[in-house]
């Protein structure tokens, strides 16, 4: 007499097939199991681009990827059925280095651990620019005549780019140059100013201290051009330099945003920007070291999740000076396998939607809520055992009423667990897909 299978919970390899009962499958290829326990053929896919892309990212409107040392945009065709287009946004990247992305207020910040950059997505077409600006060179000073009081002065410069965060000139301001000192007895100072080669820079701010003073005050607003500037009068002590000593962000391999700051993971150090100034970093003080390379970085409502190969931590608090560090688990994280997504749930007839963080670890797939609490769910624990990789990638997808976490891992992963990342096809694909062959084996 045959068995009637009403539902399945998934694939299990922990127990021998004869001891698994009727709830689990011993193997399953190209099928999905929905929340009711029913088996469905996995959706097909369609190739839309021929090449060797990596580091794919999309928000559903803009799609970026890296290829052949370039940052590129995948452009959706205007006419259904027409081929997709590709635009190069930046060249000169190190070929093969994995890119991290962070979308914030119409700008996509990116870094591959060495280089950094930004893409403005607010217009009709994305436009690449720098992420922050290098401070100007130190101004070369000489004495001239004027009405300054005799004594010692210090001068610094900053560049101003149109739009962005607050500065005394209404644009986005770089950090200041190093101070240049001069002692004048003739009442005037000539400063040799060097223009920026950044095409978005529109001006230069010149700051000067009072005689024998330390605070920098805005003395002049100049166009972006190389010139000799003469100072002959005392500045009004009103607008003080806000970006003294600040720099552009360091290169990092993971990025997240939490309560007004961008956090950048660079190997085993977590750097963070100035508050509400995502393109300015204080490299002297704004950093937190960890014991091991940071493999996971994600902001939650109550703090920031940090994972290394061996541990998972949470930084709790609103600001870095208030952070307390808590060890949550020894599961660790597969580097860059993390993803966040909206998960739909139905418990006792009550529907809910939660933001979740999911990643691969030494204990299999893990998840935790981003909306409060730090209880980790180990979905595969005691059900399916597999070797974790050294580096991975993942996405969360809501399809046909199912919550899907799709992950891939490299190096050391069991080939039976390799799942195809169909993110490009899901977001940008069209036309009739090719259905995959599927099979299942029940105990």
H or E element, residue 111: strand 107-111
CATH of the domain at 282: 2.120.10
Q: What is the pLDDT of residues 177-200, one digit of tens each?
A: 999 999 999 999 999 999 999 999
Taking a C-beta distance cutoff of 8 angstroms, is the pair 202, 162 a contact? yes
Judgement on whether residues 205 and 301 belong to the same structural domain of the protein: no
Whether residues 351 and 314 fall in one domain = yes
- 231, 261, 287 — which closes off a domain? 231
Task: Identify which has the larger pLDDT, 134 or 7.
Answer: 134
Number of independent structural domains in the chain: 2
pLDDT tens-digit map of 393-402 = 998 887 777 7
Instruction: Please determine, for residue 416, whether its predicted confidence score (pLDDT) is greater than 60.
Output: no
Cα separation, 1 vs 316, whole angstroms: 58
Position 5 in a domain? no
**What's the pLDDT tens digit per position in 30-42?**
888 777 778 888 8
> What mean pLDDT is reported for the chain?
86
pLDDT tens per residue across span 240-269: 999 999 999 999 999 999 999 999 999 999
**Does residue 265 sit in the same domain as residue 401?**
yes
The secondary structure of 345-364 as a DSSP string is EEETTEEEEEEEEEEEETTE
With residue 426 as reference, give the H or E element that holds it. Answer: helix 423-428
Look up residue 428 and give its DSSP letter.
H
- The answer, yes or no, to whether residue 229 has pLDDT greater than 80, is yes
Residues 255 and 307 grouped into a single domain = yes
User: Same structural domain for residues 166 and 306?
Assistant: no
Tokens of 5: 């299978």
Question: In this structure, is residue 81 part of a structural domain?
Answer: no
> 172, 211 in Cβ contact below 8 A?
no
Residue 121 falls inside a structural domain: yes
Strand partners, 221: 205
Claim to verify: residue 313 and residue 403 sit in the same structural domain: yes
Query: How confident is the model over 203-227, as pLDDT tens digits?
Result: 999 999 999 999 999 999 999 999 9
Residue 211 placed within a domain: yes
310 vs 413, residue with greater confidence: 310
**Local structure of residue 177 (DSSP, 8 states):** P
CA 122 to chain centre: 18
- Give residues with Cβ within 8 angstroms of 373, minimum separation 6: none
| 253 within some domain | yes
- Whether residues 119 and 150 fall in one domain: no
Say yes or no to pLDDT of 238 above 90. no
Task: Give the model's pLDDT for residue 4.
Answer: 60
In degrees, rounded to 5, the angle at the alpha carbon of residue 34 between the alpha carbons of residues 434 and 370 is 110
pLDDT tens-place string over residues 290-332 = 999 999 999 999 999 999 999 999 999 999 999 999 999 999 9
What are residue 398's DSSP bridge partners?
Answer: 403
How buried is 179 (Cβ within 10 angstroms: 0-12 exposed, 13-18 middle, 19+ buried)?
A: middle
Between strands 180-184 and 402-410, the pairing is unpaired
144 and 123 fall within a common domain = no
Query: What percent of the chain shows pLDDT beyond 90?
Result: 62
Tokens representing 116 are 């950094």
Q: What pLDDT, in 10s, does the model give residues 59-112?
A: 989 999 999 999 999 999 988 888 899 999 999 998 889 999 999 999 999 999
pLDDT at residue 437 greater than cutoff 70: no
pLDDT value at 166 more than 50: no
| pLDDT tier at 432, thresholds 50, 70, 90 | very low
- Return the pLDDT at 31: 85
Closest among 410, 401, 404, 402 to 423, alpha carbons compared = 404
Residue 254 CB partners (closer than 8 Å, separation 6+): 100, 264, 265, 294, 296, 297, 336
Instruction: Give Cβ neighbours of residue 186 (< 8 Å, ≥ 6 apart).
Output: 143, 144, 145, 146, 150
Angle made by CA atoms 285, 196, 130, in degrees to the nearest 5: 60
Give dist(CA 44, CA 429) in Å, integer.
Answer: 11
Structure tokens at 25: 């499958």
- Tell me the residue range of the domain where 121 lies: 96-129+248-417
Residue 443 has pLDDT above 50, yes or no: no
Q: Is residue 429 part of a domain?
A: no
C-alpha 175/C-alpha 203 separation (Å) is: 13
Please give the model's pTM, rounded to 2 decimal places.
0.87
189 with 102, same domain: the answer is no
- The structure tokens 């890296």 sit at 66
Residues 156 and 299 in one domain: no
Look at residues 202, 209, 206, 279 and name the one whose alpha carbon lies nearest to residue 246. 279
Can you tell me the distance from the alpha carbon of 358 to that of 377, in angstroms, rounded to the nearest whole number?
Answer: 9
State phi, psi for 336 to the nearest 5 degrees: 65, 20
The token duo for 214 is: 């330390």
Q: Are residues 185 and 283 in the same domain?
A: no
pLDDT given for residue 417 in this prediction: 33
- Report yes or no on 75 lying in a domain: no
- Dihedral pair phi/psi, residue 17, rounded to 5°: -55, -35
| Degrees, nearest 5: CA angle 322-111-173 | 70
Query: How far apart, in whole angstroms, are the C-alpha atoms of residue 189 and residue 395?
Result: 59
In sign, the C-alpha dihedral spanning 397, 399, 403, 405 is: negative
If we measure between CA atoms, which residue out of 57, 366, 109, 56 comes closest to residue 256? 109
**Is there a single domain that holds both residue 107 and residue 156?**
no
Q: Which of 201, 231, 261 is the last residue of a domain?
A: 231
387 domain-assigned: yes
């Amino acid at each position: 007499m045959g068995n009637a299978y009403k539902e399945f919970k998934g694939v299990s390899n922990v127990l021998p097939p004869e001891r698994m009962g009727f709830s689990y499958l011993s193997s399953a290829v190209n099928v999905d199991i929905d929340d009711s326990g029913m088996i469905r053929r996995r959706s097909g896919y369609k190739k839309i681009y021929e090449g060797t892309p990596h580091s794919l990212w999309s928000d559903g409107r803009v799609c970026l990827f890296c290829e052949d040392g370039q940052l590129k945009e995948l452009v959706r065709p205007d006419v259904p059925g027409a081929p997709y287009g590709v635009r190069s946004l930046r060249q000169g990247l190190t070929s093969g280095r994995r890119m991290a992305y962070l979308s914030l207020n119409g700008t996509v910040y990116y870094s591959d651990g060495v280089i950094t950059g930004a893409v403005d997505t607010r217009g009709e077409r994305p436009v690449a620019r720098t992420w922050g600006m290098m401070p100007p060179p130190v101004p070369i000073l000489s004495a001239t005549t004027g009405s300054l009081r005799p004594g010692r002065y210090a001068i610094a410069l900053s560049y101003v780019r149109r739009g962005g965060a607050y500065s005394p000139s209404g644009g986005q301001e770089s950090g200041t140059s190093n101070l240049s000192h001069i002692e004048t007895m003739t009442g005037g100072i000539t400063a040799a100013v060097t223009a920026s080669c950044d095409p978005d820079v529109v001006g230069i701010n010149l700051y000067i201290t009072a005689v024998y003073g330390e605070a920098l005050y805005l003395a002049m607003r100049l166009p972006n051009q190389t010139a000799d500037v003469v100072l002959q009068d005392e500045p009004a002590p009103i607008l003080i330099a806000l970006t003294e000593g600040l720099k552009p962000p360091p290169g990092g391999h993971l990025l997240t945003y939490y309560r007004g700051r961008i956090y950048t993971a660079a190997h085993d150090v977590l750097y963070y920007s100035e508050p509400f100034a995502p393109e300015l970093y204080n490299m002297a003080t704004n950093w937190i070291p960890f014991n091991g390379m940071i493999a996971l970085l994600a902001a939650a409502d109550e703090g920031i999740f940090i994972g290394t190969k061996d541990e998972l931590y949470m930084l709790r608090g609103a600001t870095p000076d208030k952070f307390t560090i808590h060890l949550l688990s020894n599961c660790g994280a597969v580097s860059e396998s993390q993803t966040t997504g909206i998960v739909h749930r139905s418990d006792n007839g009550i529907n809910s939607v939660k933001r979740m963080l999911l990643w691969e670890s030494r204990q299999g797939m893990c998840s935790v809520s981003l909306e409060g609490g730090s209880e980790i769910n180990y979905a595969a624990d005691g059900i399916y055992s597999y070797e974790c990789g050294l580096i991975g990638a993942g996405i969360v997808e809501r399809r046909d009423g199912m919550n899907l976490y799709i992950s891939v891992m490299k190096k050391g992963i069991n080939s039976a667990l390799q799942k195809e990342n169909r993110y490009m096809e899901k977001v940008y694909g069209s036309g009739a897909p090719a259905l995959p062959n599927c099979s299942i084996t029940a105990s």
